[in-house]
Structure 1
Amino acid sequence: MRVRMAGVAAAAITMVCALPSGAVAAGDPAKQIEALQKIKRSLSPGERKLDGRLAVELRQGKAGTTEVDITVSKPDEALVARLQQAGATVRHVASTGEIRAAVPASALRTVATWGAVERIEPAAQAMTARIGGRTLSKEERAEITAAARAAVVTSEGVRAHAADTARETTKVTGIGTKLCALSDGVDSLAASQAAGELPAVDVLPDQAGSGDEGTAMLEILHDMAPGAELGFASAFISDASFADNIRALRSEAGCDVIVDDVLYFNESPFEDGPIAQAVNDVTADGALYFSSAGNEGNVLDGTSGNYEGDFRGSGQTVGKFAGEAHDFDPGEPVQVFEPISPDSDDGVPVTLWWANQLGAAADDYDLYLFDGTGTVVNFAQDVQDGDDDPYELLFTPDFGGSGLRLAVVRFAGAPKYLQLSALRGRFEAAGALPAWVSPGVTRGHSAAADAFSIAAAPAATALPYALEPGDPPNPTGPFPGSFTSAQLPERFTSDGPRRVFFPTEQVRAKPDFTAADGVSTSVEGFQPFFGTSAAAPSAAGIAALVLSGNPSASIADVREAFGATALDLAPAGVDGRTGAGVLRADSVLSYTGATPQPLVRASAPDVTVTTGDGDAFLEPGETARLRLPVTNVGDGTATGVSVTVSTGDAKAVVTPRSQSYGEIAPGITRSQDYTLRLAADYPLGKRVPLNVRVTFAGVLSPTSDAFSLPTGQPGTAATKFSYTGPVVPIPDVSTLGVTVTIPVAGFGYASKLRFSIDGATCNTTVGSTTVGIDHSFTGDLTGTLIAPSGAEARLFQRVGGTGNNLCQVVFDDTSTRPFQSVTASLAPFTGTWKPFEPLGGLLDAAADGDWKFKVTDGARLDTGSVRAVSLELTGFVR
């Protein structure tokens, strides 16, 4: 069971959540439950702002720190400061204002009385849809380097889906599309890139997450559609952050196809919650959204741990606890217990939902877990009194054994349709006690109407262990061949359909399609990679090929093509286990008539001064030749290529405005010359903005690129500006991080910028007071420099592994050593390095104003402080 639950374990490690609410502490559980039920009836108005579980625990003297999600009436910066003053660590603030924070239990009642606070709930927990494999520790992941990687690894899904044949036949590679993933993290991203497994990846700022499932998903995406651009954001900070990142990948990163493999336990099966609403937003904007259907089993394979139906009053209680128990047996006799298999141990999450709307549950249901002797081993008794979610959550204990059984109790309110799910567990008959199972375990945002919910079928070898003792062998895949209609799906894949009640009742046919899992990646712990976590990016990569060959295709077009060409798997027709069937990239691209598309992009021009004082520097009153190259980075030949150049500045004029570049074959670069003339009163040192628009025959036309051309003769003397404030701690696992300010005044424009993390004496001592930044796990950190104009440049992002401390580190664009290549063996980190993002982009505006240096910590357990940093600015010869 511990292996089978690896996906949950990975989520737990990423989240490092507090112990599940409702977990039984020392003492008599029956007496505890009786006491809790009394408390539920006597909560004060103030306590009702707290989640019922929290309110009860506080009444019982809960101590320590609790991870919570705080719902607010509107975004409130002052509230964040008040939380910090109350001793809380603020992890993240969502666009809605919702706050994820670790709050001292002693402060929770006080926080609940604040006017801006509407609701305080235990931090929402989640898991990925990976199955099997070993989750590496933070230390193990940090020590993996590109040198340890073997030859470049290609996903067997490429062959299984015939994507290689499709690409060879159509010459379509994914060019013109951007594929983006959401998962736990991308800890090994730099190593994968250095090993040639991945190109550049656009990671949203402070959203690299923790873990490596994201890296493995990106490798699958790149293998399927090697011409597509890539992006990533973590889904594991909070459910509100997950929703924000879905939208940001579309609106800010420009992603055309988005894929995730995450399920939050508080995602309703009966209504589109906040995450599903974010999916609805991006699909309404034209993005394709793919999500794992889940690994929660299905009725057809006898692996289901799901039950749903109308509440039936049994006329009985369980354990003498208040409320009427649900009768699982639709006939005779009455059955108030649902038996769980002996292998459903080790922290299987069990959720209970009923058909009230989110945030408006007035019907109060409770959930109990008993062992074979009738003793309660866990329970969930939240308070639902009109402004709560219709949701209870408990976890199975770490011990196995037969006799575990669940009971659903209606504490108050009306009978409702309900769903009971043991996520990765199984409902299984125990002696004379039958198990009752229902299809439809897939849920949440994966079941959003326009999302593509993806089931799994193995690409190559079978999952190498039985899901539970006595199970039949797991299926194998076709590799080195391709999928056929005889393929069997994975026995763990989640089934549908999904019945939704709000805002109107409907039945959604989910999952939609099936794709390959059990594929190879270069990422440790994902060799091979099983689960619908791997299947979803396999399908998303095929969608990128469709869009690349048909750039104007809509969501409906892609869905139609997938449905028309998918290979129907047993049982015949669209079914709740495999959807319309398994995808074949060659068939889909043939159906859509995919053709290679041209894509012409401009590069920075070569600047040569032609008239002036004879030096090589472009200065006010001088003229320069701009040799502007454009490259066809697409798959098809570009015809009718025309380039238009402008500056938007009346004192910097480019002629001619437009030129023809003719026809350009794929992979070919052509250049033309332009003249740039600066007025005599052009500001000294101000960079010239250059806007380039390229048009050509094709759907991907036009493209636009912006460049910044330096002017003036750089000076030789640098002026240093330093942070002079106190030592400031870096909050653990917080996207807010810590920011220090360096003021600059009376400088004007700068020709060069260098940033340094200072320190008097460099060492690896934990908590050292002589280094610029002390931190016991530098691989947790991201450092960003922010100019007064608001422009940002990330200096370093999650590198250095277990290495301690940064001291006398200089970030300089002219360095040839990228800091992203550092390993723990180089600690303490010193010397001159190339930053992750160039500093030159911060010099387009004058340097005067407040510069800010922000450091965030993206993983738990290690801490440190910012002590001494500075920037060096060089001006111009006047």
Structure 2
Amino acid sequence: MAGVAAAAITMVCALPSGAAAADPAKQIEALQQIKRSLSPAERKLDSRLAVGLRRQQVSGMTEVDIAVEKPDADLVERLQKVGATVRNVASTGEVRAAVPASALRTVATWGAVAKVEPAAQAITARIGGRTLSKEERAAITAAAAAVVSEGVRAHAADTARETTKVTGVGAKLCALSDGVDSLAASQAAGELPDVDVLPDQAGEGDEGTAMLEILHDMAPGAELGFASAFISDASFADNIRALRTDAGCDVIVDDVLYFNESPFEDGPIAQAVKNVIADGALYFSSAGNEGNVLDGTSGNYENDFRGSGRSVGKFAGEAHDFDPGEPVQVFEPISPDSDDGVPVALWWAKALGAAADDYDLYLFDGAGTVVDFAQDVQDGDDDPYELLFTPTFGGSGLRLAVVRFSGAPKYFQLSALRGRFEAAGGLPAWVTPGVTRGHSAVADAFSIAAAPAATALPFDLEPGDPPNPTGPFPGSFTSAQLPERFTSDGPRRVFFPSEEVRAKPDFTAADGVSTSVEGFQPFFGTSAAAPHAAAIAGLVLSGNPSASGAEVREAFNATALDLTPAGYDNRTGAGVLRADGVLSYTGATPQPLVRAQAPDVTVTTGDGDAFLEPGETARLRLPVTNVGDGTATGVSVTVSTGDAKAVVTPRSQSYGEIAPGITRSQDFTLRLASDYPLGQRVVLNVRVTFAGVLSPTADRFSIPTGQPGTEAKRFSYAGTPVPIPDASTLGATVTIPVSGFGYASKVRFSIDGTTCNTTVGSTTVGIDHSFTGDLTGTLTAPSGVSARLFQRVGGTGNNLCQVVFDDTAARGFQSVVAANAPFTGTWKPFEPLSGLLDASADGDWTFTVTDGARLDTGTVRAVSLELTGFVR
């Protein structure tokens, strides 16, 4: 199934094939007996794992999520000692790891471990297309001309920008999705500007790149950011918060659903969404592509459990009666096209981690044989959740049964995600609205449905379906627009901590649009709709920087074009958005935004050379640029150092009025005391004030002092080769100690090697790794300041050898392609190394390499640090 997280594992308790599967009732009865005999440690294991281990059906490396009683600093080391690869450690202490099956019971015995479960899986809300291989993604070439989303015209965003002169300036829009593999290619083609990607969170895949292109097309003046949502569910929650607290994102949008997100309670991911909303951010999420009742595309049913007085097969427990009338119907039929591993989730109304009512889920074929099942133990400290998958071969006659094994009747939801409940074999299908779930259904989040911007989805969702709708392009949306037939419906009924019904989705936006990203041409699904809506919110904030989330929602509600059926409906929300109407309603006004630029330094008194040294004076010509949409008036610049031995005069100067796009400079004087430390950089703190809500802005610049020396000193890593863990945010770290050096005028870093080649596993290169496009390399100074040297470039190329990273190099390493392998030569790093020189060079320098994708591995073997001092 396209879009399933790479961390997915197969169900470990599947029925055996062949003759042994002839009596599934006996198989399940045996499994239930095993479950009753589990030891206390085994009960920490998810029952699929525990039973699978008992039956010797689990082998090799198993992807798991390890919940902890409390964070344990030794847990990672202990996991590594038993042969595990740790993928990620969340802020909660939860660990995503690949653990040898033989070690799972051992891990469960550790006191810090609370639960070991199969790694949570997720899907994005993209529909159609396919996931490209690494090789295909590496072969992506830049488009010859700019590609603009048809959603810009469909939402009349171009008209709105032209009328108001508001472009997104002052707002930062950030996306969470699978990955941004083609980010460098998109930037090289001029499709995207700089993107603030959280360290080691570039992910794997390209849906994020496509979403960022939509954000930029709609609001070209906005800043952009990204983080992966696919490392784990706990990492997803961490990244939501980090985009707000660390990256300063004003609007955040995602297109991801984890199967373990409860429909009845705001779980960990939803809590993270609530956190950033409370902090002032606007949060947008795809409503999903799980279908709706109005279009007859839904695979969702929810109701109170109604006892049938019957069992299914010979399985313990009472089956639910789907028919509310006199006939008893214990099976829910699934359409024959709900195949290819459609996830089927069962949730019932109990609080997370507190389920004592035990429900089970079974999937039968037309002959009455169990095809798959989910029967975890819920005995008081578990989630009220079961999950199974339809077979890849599909077939007619598939039907589901919900069984209450023990406990009280509860309200429950049964959803075939991207599947459909459909009458078959004389059984009617019972379908109810409300498939939208999880963090998209947070009360104050914006859940976005989809309507096509241009051409129709080019295939039937299932054979015999009516035609898919088309969009208005080259015109703009009207109230006659039909939504996508796959878009998910609401409402969302929540039980915990208190019962409420949430009207979801909230609004509708465009999908079926063009991007430059291979495989997203066009881009269908609520994955594409959510960033269009988020970008309109970014335009609102650009024209009204102090607008609250409630005010943005008011403007959306007041101007959305009502779609059929009349009034708010649970398929399209309040209607489809038009940027021109929204910005007219909010009275969007172009805002000035003045930022300081790096000063030009000229020594005016001293020994006659060009270097600023202790006891000397320099002129600082400090430019500021209005990067905003409106004219800046009353511009004033204040400069300070916070150091009594480095004094700037005057402290403040007026820069007057500055029109958009204009740069203006004024001169300041910098005087160094005679005893100013040789080589210590002067840190300038520049504050710019002007008339406008975006005032003031603050920037920091580092001014070199002293005459750089001509001889460099080399410090090399002297340890043994360090393996780079596969698909892990922990990475491989080597340490280079420096002592007795003091301040440095320049730093260069090299990945060494004796003989350069592309041989997999080569022992003569500095870093051996197949598919270097997986890697991110980061150098950290003793002060704790870091600079990324390279980030996810090089595609399928193997090995780095005799690579020198130097700020003065003519070429940027981010421009390398697979054909350049083995990577060698002198290159400009991804982030400048000069930022590491503000403090003394003495102490431990560390170099860390992380691997952001699966399958390819390698080793850090030989690296060096080169420091240049000063003339004394």
- What TM-score do you get using the length of structure 1 for normalisation? 0.98
Alignment coverage as a number of residue pairs: 867
1:74-120 alpha-carbon deviations (Å, 9 max, x no partner): 22221110000011000000011000001111111111111111111
Aligned position for 2:101:
105
The corresponding residue for 2:431 is 437
Q: Which AA in structure 1 matches 2:274?
A: N
- Superposed, which structure 2 residues align to 1:70-89 within 5 Å? 70-89=66-85
Match of 2:467 in 1: 473
Q: In structure 1, what is the equivalent of residue 16 of structure 2? A: 25
Matching residue's letter, 1:156: E
Counterparts of 1:288-367 in structure 2, within 5 Å, are: 288-367=282-361
Whether contact under 8 Å (1:22, 1:381) holds in the other structure is no
Q: Secondary structure at the match of 2:528?
A: helix
2:42 aligned with 1:47: yes
The aligned runs of 1:199-598 (5 Å cut-off) are: 199-598=193-592
Residue 36 (structure 1) aligned with residue 31 (structure 2): yes
Matching residue within 673, 685, 691 for 2:685: 691
Aligned pair partner of 1:60 in 39, 55, 62: 55
Residues in 2 aligned to 1:581 and 1:24: alpha-carbon distance in whole angstroms: 46
Report the secondary structure of 1:95's partner residue.
coil
Measured after TM superposition, the shift of residue 25 of structure 1 is 3.4
State the alpha-carbon separation in 1 of the partners of residues 158 and 184 from structure 2.
Answer: 26
Contact kept in structure 2, 1:49 and 1:112, CA below 8 Å: yes
Residue matched to 2:734? 740
Query: Matched residues in 2 for 1:638 and 1:24: separation?
Result: 70
- Residue 73 (structure 1) shift: 2.2
Residue 850 of structure 1 aligns to a residue in which SS?
A: strand
Distance in 1 between the 2:741 and 2:771 partners?
Answer: 37
Aligned partner of residue 388 in structure 2, secondary structure: strand
Equivalent position of 2:152 in the other structure: 158
RMSD: 0.7
Distance in 2 of aligned mates of 1:762 and 1:31: 61
Q: 2:837 aligns with which of 837, 843, 862?
A: 843
CA contact (8 A) 2:481 2:563 kept: yes
What CA distance in whole angstroms lies between the structure 2 residues aligned with 1:126 and 1:570? Answer: 31
The separation in 1 between residues aligned to 2:7 and 2:356, in whole angstroms, is 31
Matched residue of 2:639: which SS?
strand
Q: Is the 8 A contact 2:165 2:629 kept in 1?
A: yes
CA distance in 2, matches of 1:388, 1:331: 33
Q: 1:30 deviation in Å?
A: 3.1
Gaps of 5+ in 1: 1-7
CA contact (8 A) 1:180 1:232 kept: yes
**Does the aligned pair in 2 maintain the 1:21–1:380 contact within 8 Å?**
no
Give the whole-Å Cα distance in 1 for the aligned partners of 2:248 and 2:490: 31
What's the counterpart of residue 88 of structure 2?
92
Find the aligned partners of 1:698 and 1:39 in 2 and give their Cα distance. 69
The residue type paired with residue 85 of structure 2 is T
Instruction: Give the corresponding residue for 1:9.
Output: 2
Q: Quick one: distance in 2 between partners of 1:723 and 1:463?
A: 55
Task: For residue 21 of structure 1, report the CA deviation from its aligned partner.
Answer: 4.3
Superimposed CA distance per residue, residues 50-71 of structure 1 (whole angstroms, 9 cap, x where no aligned partner)? 1122111111122222111111
User: What is the distance in 2 between the residues matched to 1:114 and 1:234?
Assistant: 30
Shift of 1:735: 0.2
Retained in 1: the 8 A contact 2:7–2:63?
no
* Partner AA of 2:4 in structure 1: A
What residue ranges of structure 2 are gaps of 5+ in the alignment?
Answer: none
Amino acid in structure 2 at the alignment position of 1:632: N
User: SS in structure 1 opposite 2:4?
Assistant: helix
SS at match of 1:446: helix
Q: Secondary structure at the match of 2:123?
A: strand
- How far residue 22 of structure 1 moved from its aligned partner, in angstroms, is 4.0
What CA distance in whole angstroms lies between the structure 1 residues aligned with 2:12 and 2:559?
47
Structure 1 residue 36, shift from structure 2 partner: 1.1
Counterpart code for 1:23: A
Residue 33 of structure 1 aligns with an amino acid whose one-letter code is I
The amino acid that maps onto 1:51 is D
Q: 1:828 aligns with which of 818, 822, 831?
A: 822
Q: Distance in 1 between matches of 2:781 and 2:394?
A: 57
The one-character-per-residue Cα deviations of 1:149-177 (angstroms, maximum 9, x if unpaired) are: 23110000000000000000000000000
Is the Cα contact below 8 Å between 1:21 and 1:394 reproduced in 2? no
| Rounded Cα–Cα distance in structure 2 between residues aligned with 1:207 and 1:607 | 37
Does the Cα contact within 8 Å between 1:645 and 1:691 map onto a contact in 2?
yes
Distance 1:771 1:255 in 2: 40
2: distance between equivalents of 1:777 and 1:549?
A: 44
SS of 1:77's equivalent? coil
- Structure 1 residue aligned with 2:706: 712
Assess, with a 3 A threshold, how the Cα gap between structure 1 residues 16 and 112 changes in structure 2: closer, same or farther: closer
Q: Which amino acid aligns with 1:673?
A: D
C-alpha contact 2:397 2:425 (8 A) present in aligned 1: no
Partners of 1:458 and 1:391 in 2: how far apart?
34
CA displacement 1:132-155 (0-9 Å, x = unmatched)? 012211111012132xx2311000
2:325, 2:104 → 1: CA distance?
Answer: 47
- Per-residue deviation at 1:302? 0.2
Q: Please give the TM-score of this superposition, normalised by the length of structure 2.
A: 0.99
2:125 is equivalent to residue 129 of structure 1: yes
Give the whole-Å Cα distance in 2 for the aligned partners of 1:602 and 1:20: 56
Deviation, structure 1 residue 388: 0.4
Identify the residue that residue 184 of structure 2 maps to in structure 1: 190
Q: Deviations over 1:752-778 (max 9, x none)?
A: 000000000000000000000000110
Deviations 1:565-590 (A, max 9, x none): 00000001111000000000000000
Greater Cα shift, 100-109 or 532-541: 100-109
Cα distance in 1 for partners of 2:531, 2:806 equals 37
1:760 aligns with 2:751: no
Note if contact 1:22-1:394 (Cα within 8 Å) is conserved in structure 2.
no
1:466-516, Cα deviation, whole Å (9 max, x unpaired)? 000000000000000000000000000000000000000000000000000
1:670-723 superposed Cα distances (whole Å, 9 cap, x missing partner): 000000000001000000000000000000000000010000000000000000
Percent identity of equivalent pairs: 87
The CA deviation at 1:43 is: 1.8
- Measured against aligned partners, the alpha-carbon deviations of 1:373-394 in whole angstroms (never above 9, x if no partner) come to 0000000111100000000000
Q: Deviations over 1:196-252 (max 9, x none)?
A: 000000000000000000000000000000000000000000000000000000000
Q: Which amino acid aligns with 1:832?
A: T
For 1:150 and 1:813, how far apart are their aligned partners in 2? Answer: 30
Contact kept in structure 1, 2:684 and 2:703, CA below 8 Å: yes
Superposed counterparts of 1:651-662, under 5 Å: 651-662=645-656
Aligned-partner SS, 1:873: strand
Deviation at 1:40?
2.1
SS of the equivalent of 2:2 reads helix
Are the equivalent residues in 2 in contact too, given 1:139–1:802 (CA < 8 A)? yes
Q: Which amino acid aligns with 1:407?
A: A
The answer on whether the counterparts of 1:162 and 1:586 sit within 8 Å (CA) in structure 2 is yes
Contact 1:155 1:220 in 2 (8 A): yes
Cα shift at 1:16: 4.2
Distance in 1 (alpha carbons) for counterparts of 2:264 and 2:16? 32
Letter in 2 for 1:24: L
Question: Which residue of the partner structure matches residue 114 of structure 2?
Answer: 118
Alignment partners' CA distance in 2, 1:555 and 1:21: 45
Equivalent pair of 1:552/1:699 in contact (CA under 8 Å) = yes
Tell whether the 8 Å contact from 2:85 to 2:99 is kept in structure 1 after alignment. Answer: yes
